[in-house]
Structure 1
Amino acid sequence: MTDQRQDAIPDAIPGAVPHTRGVRFAVYSAHAKAIDLCLFDGENETRLPLNRTATDLFALHVAGLKPGARYGFRAQGVYDPDRGLWFDPSKLLVDPYARELDRPFRHDARLSTFGVDTASLVPKAIVTEDRPVAPAAPRLPKGGLIYEVAVRPFTLLHPKVPAALRGTVAALAHPAVIAHLKRIGVDAVELLPITAWIDERHLPPLGLSNGWGYNPVAMMALDPRLVPGGMAELAATVATLHENGIGVILDLVFNHSGESDRHGATLSMRGLDNLTYYRHVPGAPGLLVNDTGTGNTLACDHPVVRRLILDTLRHFVRQAGIDGFRFDLGTILGRSPQGFSRESETLRAILSDPLLADRVMIAEPWDIGPGGYQLGQFPPPFLEWNDRARDDIRLYWRGDGWKTGRLAHALAGSSEIFSAHGLGETRSVNFLAAHDGFTLMDLVSYSHKHNEANGEDNRDGHNDNHSWNNGVEGETRDPAIRDSRRRDVQALLGTLFATRGTLMLTAGDEGGRSQQGNNNAYAQDNALTWLDWTTLDDDLVTHTARLARLRRRFDVFSESAFFTGQDGDVLWLNEQGKPMTTADWEQPDRQQLTMLLKTRDREEDRATRLAVVFNRSHDALAVHLPGGPWQDLFTKDHVFSPVLPPRTVIWLRELADPSARDKEAGES
């Protein structure tokens, strides 16, 4: 089956590689009998047979071809889905290494029908030249703030962004957008998927479309709807954000593809080599493993898929200077048929790659597969989304009677989770809300999800959100309830910004955005998810900006080592201002906690102590603190009043010279 003529082609790597004398094409398949390269000039298609190499790459050099050429593949072989074989030459297939597409994917039933030609339906890949940039050091300091952004809903309604840019990556580089990011102290934006995706097949009949992009087909190609200017647009936006001290993290999906289950579309990897690219039930090649809940699971432990993952990451660093990556349902990167391993070849390959070694890597450390929950188990320096801290903070403020100790663990960086394997620092990404789930304002406005608009009779989305409604379910004009909800959001934000670790805030949550109780709004590419900048609560935005400034002011939040309790690095105080006792920690209805931190005040360049006081009660409470006097950092008052308002988090700085205080303590 090997065509020795291809041995003359140098460095036969996957993809379309332009040279001075033409373009070399190569695509992998261990099971296809033959593969044709399909070149398109308008609607005219020219098919050229590829030659099989000794490494199962089908390759061909086309002399005289130039960048800008449009192409796809057709694969021949056995069609027997029960054996995991899906070869159908009527299906035009997108190159897994495609770097640019001529149009977005659109769902069509014909994409799933054997024998029906799909050349008129499937996007064509475009041959592109490398335009590398010089990657700089990643822009995400320890303890930094990540801002999670869905590009289209974030920019589509921005009144100051030109209409032609709204909804695109280029809009993120607009001065008005950058001004907002800098106002609230963003260190890096994390972009929901911007690579080419397709709608789930059940959405078009409902009149809905996927607005999040977590259903990819081409891993490297940018979606033309979000990045019409291609890689040049992304690179220019990244450069502008970098000039303003803001990094860019891409949310990538390597756990599944938009080809879905056996009833889904044949678009790329399924038609090229289903048995290689996807995981199958052992002994049943016709049954796809579904560790993702989306119909299929990529075989990330296979060398060919591992190479695709690594090449994709390198591509975005080389071509756009991307600072890092967040891996959706990241457990799959460490899973093989034997289960999850933090020492998996794929994880090791990512962390040991010279180009990727200094990039920010963030795992969503779970999926629904066996052993899928792996929080705290990823190898450093991976950061990990910390849903336990999220839930503990929510439950504390909801007042479920949880022990105050759970809040303290979250504030301290969740050492009981991240100290596994003898590690001494937190790798937690602390967050209260994300793209999937309630918005921060909906968290305090709805006791139950309201996903009726998704067309699934409210069955989709999480049922257990640890949310509350302050007396009325959903929207209300009652000023007392609205004020109560705003206080709760302020308290939640005050808690988040006081945690040790990296922070993540979802775009719009700083201004009280709502999705009307929809906690699974992936299919709502409409006004439900589009951020209305004119209705953002500026008081909440100002509150968030103040918290960001305070967090940067005190160096204790740029440290990741676990607190030891030695030398007063942290003290936990009860309502009398005394160190917490075992009995204090075990009191389930405790309403007040003070976290006392030793830190340096960067603004005044001196050592000091910072007290963060939490009052989850609906009543005002007296506050007692050691030493003093204490300055309220949220107001212009010089000295803190000893009464803390209900449902409040307040930050206080000790005004006394700590060296003098320590001297007095020693003399006594």
Structure 2
Amino acid sequence: MFAKLAQPFPLGATLCDQGCNFSIHCPENKEIKLVLFDHNNKKTFIELENQHLDIHYTFVAGINKGQVYGYQIKDKNETRLILDPYAQALNKVPYYIEPFTADRSWHFAKSVVVDHCFDWQGTTLPQVPLEETIIFETHVKGFTKQHPEVEEKYQGTYLGLCQPAMIKYFKEQGVTSLQLLPVTSCMSEPHLLKMDKVNYWGYNSLCFMVPEPRYATEDPVTEMKTMVRELHRHGIEVIMDIVFNHTAEGGEGGPKFHFKCLDKHYYQLDTHKNYKNHTGCGNTFDLTYQPSLNIVLDTLRHWVTNYKIDGFRFDLAATLGRNGDRFNPQSAFFKAVAQDPILRQVKLIAEPWDIGPDGYQLGYFPRGWNECNDKFRDTVKSYWLCQENNVKEFATRIMGSRDLFSAGCWPDKLPVNFVSYHDGFTLQDLVSYNQKHNHANGENNRDGHGDNRSNNQGVEGETTNYAILSRRERQKRNLMTTLIFSFGIPHILAVDALSHTQGGNNNAYCQDNAISWADWSPCKDKSDFSQWLATMLERRKTYMSPFIRAFSGRKRGHHRIHWNRSNGQPMNAEDWQGLEAFSLYLGLFDTGKELLFLVNSSKIPTRYRLPEGSKWQVVCDTSEATLGSRQVQTTYMQGAHSLTVLYRD
């Protein structure tokens, strides 16, 4: 009766008025069966009587949203229950006790049929221009878990992130775009389960289309949509950090949740049919394989269409363009995204590397992709914190890394500049620790990056020494001012606005506790820095964004750029080898608006001669803890190890 309603596409569970179509790609397990579960966990087994292109499918009448289901397969003479890779919800938080046997698979989280009807209440997409974008990277749970003005039941949830107190904070801080650490369903790695820890960051995808149930009070689907809707209502974009380079199934011997049982070719395989490991996680997803490419593209459209997501940050994105051991910027994935009428309209941000051969690809992603610029991070930290007087490199980075990202392709190729990210030291720890302190992770401090380029200013960790605290605050202002007033898209770790410390832990991926949770406890110094940062972000919008627009595209060569010594004379070749005090002058067209950067990395105050003309407005001086409003004209005394930004129109 319902045979004509059964269709191979779309894959997954698709509701209609009469019931639900179930469809799954499964070339390697011909005895697969659909399993439906009622409220008492009673099982109903249904044959998938239709096949097309290795897809098994059927239509089941009378199915409603909330139906719990899975698929039974034969695995070495045992029956195993697997998840639908196209599942859009889970019935509970996934968890198991090692080892993940076929018997335990029946007690694991199960797939749930979803109805995506939702009242968006007429909200529209913010569509923030790239040159005005301010990215705040945050964790859904961690940012509100300890917030005193968020009701306890909402702390650490999707709904917590859109409570009035949080909206007010984001607006006051100048946030345009929240970049959320993975909110797709995640499964902690076996070694964490053995230590009774969790993958707090979420970089271990279970089902690509499922919102992580840990962050919901009741219904993850509705609550995540509500979060997006309320943030959009206030003009704030939502960018998802998403992981397609590997899955939670791991390498050889890893758990079997779906892909491994359905088709081993979802993953890159070597000549011995073992899984390749270009990500450090044991199983590299293979986007040269059509079913793998399909689910990735279907997933992206799913989030944009059903959740109105504004963009994606792709973890270890070099993997997405891989063909075996080589990276190809003309790969099928990039071409498919570029022609997709839905996906080509959203922000696409790449972490342009993985750990495999040919894995570092900064600057080589196609037009329409912005890239996380670790060259900026390393150069700026080295310049301010390690006293590496790399003037030429520093100048290149603040001018938009045009050795890697041509201004002719701006703003769509603006680099995403950052100083701190979820991995690595927080801003506060960059100026408070020389060494990583990751003992809480249970790996004898062996994990985490060793190249921190940090400087504790004389004391490791907490101190009451006023001179050291003062130097730390100045260094934070140096780093943030350089980030905010460089050409590019500033990426700010949200907890940095709170001067949050992780106690020197630079790899807190498994710390679902106060180490990672944002510290909202009142503190005058922290409050002062937060206000300073908010004001600086507002001033970036006023003073810097117009320069980024003007220096982008065809008219980029019609403006004035001068690099001078502190005495106002042009820098020569020798100066570029290590001059400690220099200035950068930017002027629009022949007589337009002007910016002047006074950079002094020396240990002594330096007097700068300013370009002649009308008075300059002091946008900021990092040697000062507060942001005032004053003007100067002929000279300016710049404090040691600090920088000033001046403006006039």
Same fold (TM over 0.5): yes
CA contact (8 A) 1:316 1:322 kept: yes
Match 1:155 to one of 138, 144, 160: 144
Match 2:111 to one of 125, 148, 154: 125
CA contact (8 A) 2:184 2:209 kept: yes
- TM superposition shift of 1:518: 0.6
- TM superposition shift of 1:391: 0.4
Change in Cα spacing, 1:496 to 1:424, as seen in structure 2 (3 Å) is closer
State the AA in 2 paired with 1:419. Answer: S
| 1:313 equivalent in alignment to 2:313 | no
- TM superposition shift of 1:52: 4.7
- TM superposition shift of 1:139: 2.9
Match 1:294 to one of 281, 284, 287: 281
State the AA in 2 paired with 1:411. Answer: I
Question: For residues 251-291 of structure 1, what are the alpha-carbon distances to aligned partners after superposition, in whole Å with 9 as ceiling and x for unaligned?
Answer: 10001111112232111212222x1211111x211x21111
CA contact (8 A) 1:412 1:563 kept: no
- TM superposition shift of 1:51: 2.6
Q: Measure the CA separation in 1 of the matches of 2:276 and 2:334.
A: 20
Change in Cα spacing, 1:10 to 1:106, as seen in structure 2 (3 Å) is closer
Change in Cα spacing, 1:25 to 1:617, as seen in structure 2 (3 Å) is same
What is aligned with 1:650? 644
CA contact (8 A) 1:257 1:296 kept: yes
Match 1:352 to one of 339, 344, 350: 339
Deviates more, 1:382-391 or 1:343-352: 343-352
What is aligned with 1:249? 239
What is aligned with 1:104? 93
CA contact (8 A) 2:182 2:202 kept: yes
Q: Measure the CA separation in 2 of the matches of 1:68 and 1:163.
A: 27
What is aligned with 1:556? 547
Q: Measure the CA separation in 2 of the matches of 1:627 and 1:399.
A: 34
State the AA in 1 paired with 2:547. Answer: V
Question: For residues 367-425 of structure 1, what are the alpha-carbon distances to aligned partners after superposition, in whole Å with 9 as ceiling and x for unaligned?
Answer: 001101000010011000000111011111124434211111111110111239x8566
- TM superposition shift of 1:190: 0.4
Count of residues in correspondence between the two structures: 628
TM-score (normalised: structure 2): 0.92
| Structure 1 stretches lacking a partner, 5+ long | 80-87, 601-605, 658-668
Question: For residues 468-522 of structure 1, what are the alpha-carbon distances to aligned partners after superposition, in whole Å with 9 as ceiling and x for unaligned?
Answer: 1111112212111111101100111011011101110001112311111111000
Please give the residue correspondences for 1:162-561 in structure 2 after superposition, counting only pairs within 5 Å. Answer: 162-228=151-217, 229-273=219-263, 275-281=264-270, 283-285=271-273, 287-337=274-324, 339-419=326-406, 423=409, 426-535=413-522, 537-554=526-543, 555-559=546-550, 561=552
State the AA in 2 paired with 1:648. Answer: S
Change in Cα spacing, 1:563 to 1:625, as seen in structure 2 (3 Å) is farther
Please give the residue correspondences for 1:75-114 in structure 2 after superposition, counting only pairs within 5 Å. Answer: 75-76=73-74, 79=76, 89-111=78-100, 113=101
What is aligned with 2:20? 23
Runs of 4+ in 1 over 4 A off after TM superposition: 5-8, 132-135, 422-426, 562-568
State the AA in 2 paired with 1:60. Answer: T
Change in Cα spacing, 1:382 to 1:255, as seen in structure 2 (3 Å) is same
CA contact (8 A) 1:568 1:597 kept: yes
Change in Cα spacing, 1:424 to 1:551, as seen in structure 2 (3 Å) is closer
Match 2:62 to one of 64, 73, 81: 64
Q: Measure the CA separation in 2 of the matches of 1:12 and 1:209.
A: 35
What is aligned with 1:663? none
Q: Measure the CA separation in 2 of the matches of 1:442 and 1:97.
A: 40
Q: Measure the CA separation in 2 of the matches of 1:107 and 1:139.
A: 42
| 1:116 equivalent in alignment to 2:103 | yes
Change in Cα spacing, 1:74 to 1:565, as seen in structure 2 (3 Å) is closer
- TM superposition shift of 1:563: 11
| Structure 2 stretches lacking a partner, 5+ long | 620-626
CA contact (8 A) 2:438 2:505 kept: yes
Q: Measure the CA separation in 2 of the matches of 1:227 and 1:317.
A: 20
Q: Measure the CA separation in 2 of the matches of 1:309 and 1:560.
A: 35
Change in Cα spacing, 1:378 to 1:227, as seen in structure 2 (3 Å) is farther
Q: Measure the CA separation in 2 of the matches of 1:585 and 1:563.
A: 28
SS at match of 1:90: strand
CA contact (8 A) 2:325 2:358 kept: no
- TM superposition shift of 1:570: 2.3
Q: Measure the CA separation in 2 of the matches of 1:103 and 1:565.
A: 53
Indicate the percent of aligned positions where both proteins have the same amino acid.
35
Match 2:563 to one of 559, 564, 572: 572
State the AA in 2 paired with 1:57. Answer: I
Please give the residue correspondences for 1:593-612 in structure 2 after superposition, counting only pairs within 5 Å. Answer: 593-599=582-588, 607-612=592-597
Change in Cα spacing, 1:316 to 1:302, as seen in structure 2 (3 Å) is same
CA contact (8 A) 2:240 2:309 kept: yes
Q: Measure the CA separation in 1 of the matches of 2:478 and 2:537.
A: 14
Question: For residues 330-363 of structure 1, what are the alpha-carbon distances to aligned partners after superposition, in whole Å with 9 as ceiling and x for unaligned?
Answer: 0111111261111100111112111111100000
Match 2:618 to one of 623, 626, 632: 632
What is aligned with 1:603? none
- TM superposition shift of 1:575: 1.3
Question: For residues 414-442 of structure 1, what are the alpha-carbon distances to aligned partners after superposition, in whole Å with 9 as ceiling and x for unaligned?
Answer: 0111239x856643000000000010111
| 1:619 equivalent in alignment to 2:604 | yes
Q: Measure the CA separation in 2 of the matches of 1:26 and 1:568.
A: 58
SS at match of 1:164: helix
SS at match of 1:202: helix
The two structures, once aligned, show a CA RMSD in angstroms of 2.2
Deviates more, 1:155-164 or 1:197-206: 197-206
State the AA in 2 paired with 1:639. Answer: V
Change in Cα spacing, 1:301 to 1:463, as seen in structure 2 (3 Å) is same
| 1:136 equivalent in alignment to 2:125 | yes
Q: Measure the CA separation in 2 of the matches of 1:181 and 1:305.
A: 37
Question: For residues 78-137 of structure 1, what are the alpha-carbon distances to aligned partners after superposition, in whole Å with 9 as ceiling and x for unaligned?
Answer: x4xxxxxxxx653211111111111111132141x3x434211x1111111232768736
Question: For residues 172-201 of structure 1, what are the alpha-carbon distances to aligned partners after superposition, in whole Å with 9 as ceiling and x for unaligned?
Answer: 211211122112211100000011101111
SS at match of 2:82: coil
CA contact (8 A) 2:414 2:487 kept: no
Deviates more, 1:213-222 or 1:234-243: 234-243
Change in Cα spacing, 1:212 to 1:267, as seen in structure 2 (3 Å) is same
State the AA in 1 paired with 2:360. Answer: Y
Change in Cα spacing, 1:200 to 1:45, as seen in structure 2 (3 Å) is same
Q: Measure the CA separation in 1 of the matches of 2:191 and 2:287.
A: 27
TM-score (normalised: structure 1): 0.90
CA contact (8 A) 2:126 2:237 kept: no
Change in Cα spacing, 1:108 to 1:558, as seen in structure 2 (3 Å) is farther
Question: For residues 546-565 of structure 1, what are the alpha-carbon distances to aligned partners after superposition, in whole Å with 9 as ceiling and x for unaligned?
Answer: 21111111211345627999
Change in Cα spacing, 1:89 to 1:48, as seen in structure 2 (3 Å) is farther
